[in-house]
Structure formats: C-alpha cells, structure tokens
Amino acid sequence: MNVTTPTVVASPQLSWTTGLLSLAIPLLAYVVYQVYVAIARPTLSELDGPPVTRLLGGHMSMVLDPGRSPIVHEKFVQQYGRNVRIRGITPWDERLLPMDPVSISHIMKQSLVYEKPWQSRRLITGLIGCGMLAAEGQVHKRQRRVATPAFSIQNMKALVPLVFRKGEELRDRLMEVIDLETDLTPGDGATLDVCRWISRATFDVIGIAGFDYQFNAIHNEDNELFCAYKDMFEVAVSQGQSMVKSILGIYFPIINKIFPDERIRAVSRGQETIQRVASQLVQDKKRKLEEGEKTGKLYEGRDLLTLLLKSNMSTDIAPEQRISDEDILHNINTFMFAGSDTSSLALTWTLLLLAKHPQIQTRLRAELLATRPSIPFSSLSEDEIASLYDTLSALPLLHNVCRESLRLIPPVHSSLRVAVKDDIVPVSAPFKGRDGKIRDSIFVPKGTFVHVPVEALSLDREIWGPDAWQFVPDRWDSLPDAVATLPGLFSNILAFSAGPRSCIGQRFSMIEMKSFLYILLTNFEFRETDAKVVKANVVLTRPYVSGKYKEGSQCPLIVVPLGRGHEETEEETVVCKERQIQWFSQKAAQAVEGTGRNERLTEMNTRYLKAYCRPTSPDFTRPTHTPAASAIRVYVLFLPNKPFLGDLTSSDEVTENDEPLKLGSDTAAAARFPDGPALV
C-alpha cells in the first residue's frame, strides 16, 4: 500500500543517517542565517509594544486566542497606540500589529508589497496545490482574472436554486434525525451538533456549485472524494503533538518525505483520489464544452468549474494569460478549502447567536415567514426560487443579522502578510514613537510580518460604541460615523478581507447564508443547551464545548421542529395558516375537479385544515404525526383511487390507521400531482 515502506524496511540505518544529515545541514544554515544575517535587519524600532517575557512564542497566543483577543487588542491600543510592535515566534521575529484603519487599508491595498508569507503558501500548496489562495504575483493575477467572471452577480444568482435544494435536503434530514431521537410529542426537539450538520451541507453545496458533483454528505459521509477532502483539510487544521514537526516540515519538506507519518500518508492518499476523480471531472466538462462548440448546442453548466473553463477559453483572455488544467483543478480545490468551513462556521455562529437571543430569532422568523410563497418549495420553479431569493436578499433584519454575526465572530480571525520590500505605512493621526519623537508614518522594513487583526477592527469599542462586543443586529440601522472609515470588502468589516486579495466568494457566501437561514428558521427553532460553547482559533474560529476540547469542534443546540415545541407567534400563525390553507384548498379543488366528486369534500378538507394546520412543515414534504399531517392525509385520501372515502362526512376523523397514499410510489397519483407532496 505505502510506496515508501520498502525503502525504509530494506535499509533503515541508511535512511536514518541520510535523514539526520539532511535535517542537520539546513538547520545549521538556518541558525547561522538567523544569528548573523536576520538579526542585523532593520526593525520596527520606532514602535512601542508589550514587553517580551518568553524566549519563544512571543505574543502570538495573546492575539490569536479569540477568548482573549478582544481585551488584549483594546489594552494594546490604550497602552501603545494603534500600531503596535509585537513579538512573533522567535526572538528575531518582530511583527507589526496594525489596528489603525488607515494603516490597514494601505496594507490590504498594496498586495504587491504585502504578500502572504512563503511558509503559509507552501503549507497550502502542499495540500491543495497552488490555487488563488496560495499564489502570488503574476500567477495570482492570472488566476484571479480567469476566475472573476465565474463569480459575477449573474452567475452567482444562477446557483440560488441549487443552494435552496441543498437547504431543503438538510431540513428533511434534520427532521428525520429528530424523529428518530424524540417521541414526536409537542415541545420535543433534539440536541444536535449544528456545526457538523451545517458543515456536511455546505460541503454538499460547494461540491454541486463548485464542480457539479454530489458528495451527498448530508445523507452519509462515505463518498471517497468527500473523505479525501475532509482528511486533507483535517491535516491542515490538526494541532497537538506534531506541531513542531509540522513547522519543521514547512521549512524542510524533505523531512516529510523521509519520515512520513499517518497525517502525511493521509494527505498523499487524499491527493491521489482527488487527482483521479476530480481531474476526470475536469476532462468531462472540457469535453462537454468542446462538443457544445462543435455542435452549436452550447453546454449550459452553471458550476464554477464549467464557468472557469469557459472563462479560460473565452476570447477576452489572451492565450498567454490562460491557465493550465492543473491550475483549474487547484482552484477548484481552493474553492472547496476556502468556501466550505468558512461558510459553515459563519452559519453555525449565527444560529448560536440567535439561540442566545430568542427575541431576535422570533423577529427574524416573522420577517422570513412573511415572504413564504403560497406553494411548497418543491413546487417552485427555478425562476420562482430566484425571485424568492431577491426578496430575501432585501430583507432588512436578515441582512443585519448576517453582517452582525460576521462582525462579531468572523470565521477568519486574522491573517498574515510579509513586506517584500521596505515600505512607509500611513497612519490616521501623528503618534509618539518609542524614542519620544512625533511621527506621521511608520517605516516597515522588508521581511517584516504583519499580523492583520480581522476581528480587532470590528470589535473596536472606540469605533463601534460601548456595545461592540454584543450581538445587536439593529446597530446596522444607525451606525457611528467612524465605521465608514473602516476598510472591508463587505459592510466595513474585514470578514471577507479587503483589497486585491479579498474573498472572491463573498456573494456566494451571502446567498448560502441567507438561503440556509431562511429554510432553517422557517422550519426549526434553535435553543441553547446547558453546554458552554466557546471560541477557539484553529486556522478558523471554531466552536468548542468548554472543557471538552478533545471531542473536537462542536456546537450543540436544541433543534425543535416548528409546530411541535415551538409556540408560534400570532403573526406567524396567521401567515402560515393562510398560506397552507390556500395551497391545500387549491390542490383539493383540483383533485375533485371533473371527477364528479362532491364539493363537500373540498369544503370538509378546508375545515380540517382550518382546525389543524400549523406551521409544521411549510412545504409538507414529509408525513408526521402532527395535526398538520392529518390534514395532509385528508387531502391525500380524497384522491379518486380511494373511492370509499368519498363517503366520508365532515364529522369523520382520520385516524392513525388510515393508510396515507404514497404519492411517491403511486404513479397515477404522482402523474396527477407532479408537484405534490411526496408522502413516502
């Protein structure tokens, strides 16, 4: 199985000696460089900063830990000003921590001066290839130019129905899981790890939207490509004992070749699978596009892979600006990597915040329910879903909730840059340097690392006001003037970064967040459990249960299907009932139309609905034992192939023993109601 094994077994001593030598020589060279060359570099000497109390590790744990960072950042600003000198990992590693909006804007704009450090780029490249996240300079420019048209507003909107369908799948799956875990009595909900479920769904979304591939992770986690990506991404975020080895592996990749551990082997296995399955997908798509060109029947795929290939082939891109198939594959990997966990974390944190603020959850639900179409989702055409999304995207509270959540808990907590040449960084106000002189800019020498504190700017109480650390979506209706000075691709926050290296998937994420929130909140209520969920920065800001870090990232919430334990507000009840009654009555009328069946049935049906209908499952796609399900049964039992029920009177009860018609398997009924509820 493992191609490296025979070498190691055949000559273990030789391997060890070679390994040690190949480790020792570069290590020695590195130490010599650091002592005699790097130490002589110019430093951020004019800036003030906190004292250093440790030889290694410096201040990184203080600024990287989201449990402490808000207070640390605030104290630093008060004591040392808005641009602070901090210590990185080694004694020679002085870093700039800018918390001045003017300085940060400059750094984010000057992407040719402030690059991603080669260390992080090498780590990413080793996992997913040199796509947009890792590339720099001309390579990055070329890739971004090819990818930008794929992320246009129009192309993103075309993905809306795909995202909705996945949202519905998640809803149905959660209902099934809850049914299994509870006895279906009112008030019942199940405690679910929302983080895990959302993550499975966002993986599915990026699979289908990224390259038209069904991971089906919502249903099971066995798909080989899904496992390959998951394993690789887990290596990227895994911490612990092998931290030192991981760092050494970045500086001296040969170590990983000579001494591969289980993680390295998992990465190789994952890469092999991705290479085999995903490159086949690239070739298939290329063939479809070429065939379309030849036959004049253009291939209409909406996924990012197709769009990337189209853009790369378009005449707008000069031949020398095109990217290779390998680059295309690396970028699809990059979208998987950059777009799955970030989105699922943004959604998870939003649901947790809403669970902690039930009044806001109720208000948001009422806003969402008011837009609910009169027919079930499953019956909506793609155009109708697109127009529903247009309505959603303009909802004020939904928008406020999304940006407030991304402001308060940005999934990317901070980012790292390195100055590749000397630079002068502007500041918003003159400041007193360490030598007591007043300065109006900062000299940043080549080689300096810059720690970009994404979270610090959006939690700055001097800028956002005293409640900046709280979840207050309404703040967005009247923001302090100072907020307008903050950089950010989205809403003056750095959640999606800023400048030429900002997130290309921001529009995609908003579609995903808003569609999922819509589907989830109109079907479930989310409540806090007794577990204390805390933030930890493991590449991204992830939820953990306090004291249970070893169990991995998780966010348990009680998920209650609406209509069971959820006490709907009057506003919700009215909206839901009216819409459901309207839909059922319409369908019941169609059912009896022209069949000579009496109108009494329609009337009775409506009566049942009036009595029982609750906002349980807005598009009625599943049978339940709730009153709404009885209403569904009544409606279904009216079908012509159940003639004896034509004699039902309005006083008859439909009992548990009445067999509901299985629309999904009954061809006659299915033909009659192609868009009807699938009661399977």
* Chain contacts with ligand HEM (rule: CB under 6 A): 132-133, 144, 334-335, 338-339, 342-343, 346, 411-412, 415, 495-497, 501, 503-505, 508-509
Contact (Cβ atoms closer than 8 angstroms) between residue 202 and residue 215: no
The verdict on whether residue 576 carries a ligand-binding annotation is no
Closest distance between ligand HEM and the C-beta of residue 127, in Å? 14
Nearer to ligand HEM, 146 or 258 (CB): 146
Closest distance between ligand HEM and the C-beta of residue 200, in Å? 16
Tell me how far apart the 2 most distant CA atoms of the chain are, in Å.
98
Nearer to ligand HEM, 130 or 601 (CB): 130
E strand or H helix that includes residue 226? helix 224-237
Q: Using only C-alpha atoms, what is the Rg of the chain? A: 29
Structure tokens at 586: 């319409």
Nearer to ligand HEM, 133 or 264 (CB): 133
Closest distance between ligand HEM and the C-beta of residue 495, in Å? 5
User: What is the residue-wise DSSP string for 390-412?
Assistant: HHHHT-HHHHHHHHHHHHHS-SS
Closest distance between ligand HEM and the C-beta of residue 147, in Å? 7
Nearer to ligand HEM, 365 or 507 (CB): 507
Nearer to ligand HEM, 338 or 401 (CB): 338
Measured distance CA(451)–CA(460) in Å, rounded: 16
Residue with tokens 């019956």: 379
Closest distance between ligand HEM and the C-beta of residue 83, in Å? 19
Q: Which residues pair with 96 in a beta bridge?
A: 85, 450
Closest distance between ligand HEM and the C-beta of residue 61, in Å? 20
Closest-CA residue to 386 (of 184, 234, 164): 164
Nearer to ligand HEM, 133 or 352 (CB): 133
Cβ-closest position to ligand HEM: 505
Nearer to ligand HEM, 108 or 557 (CB): 108
Closest distance between ligand HEM and the C-beta of residue 231, in Å? 20
CA atoms within 13 A on the CB side of 27: 11
Q: Which residues pair with 490 in a beta bridge?
A: 493
Q: Which amino acid is at 524?
A: F
Question: How far from the centroid of its chain's Cα atoms is residue 109's Cα?
Answer: 25
Structure tokens at 305: 């892979």
Closest-CA residue to 329 (of 251, 202, 213): 213
Contacts of 669 (CB under 8 A, 6+ apart): 636, 639, 641, 661, 663, 676
Residue with tokens 């459901």: 580
Nearer to ligand HEM, 264 or 498 (CB): 498
Q: Which amino acid is at 184?
A: L
Closest-CA residue to 201 (of 679, 142, 209): 209
Closest distance between ligand HEM and the C-beta of residue 494, in Å? 7
Q: Where is the binding site, in residues?
A: 503
Q: Where is the binding site for heme, in residues?
A: 503
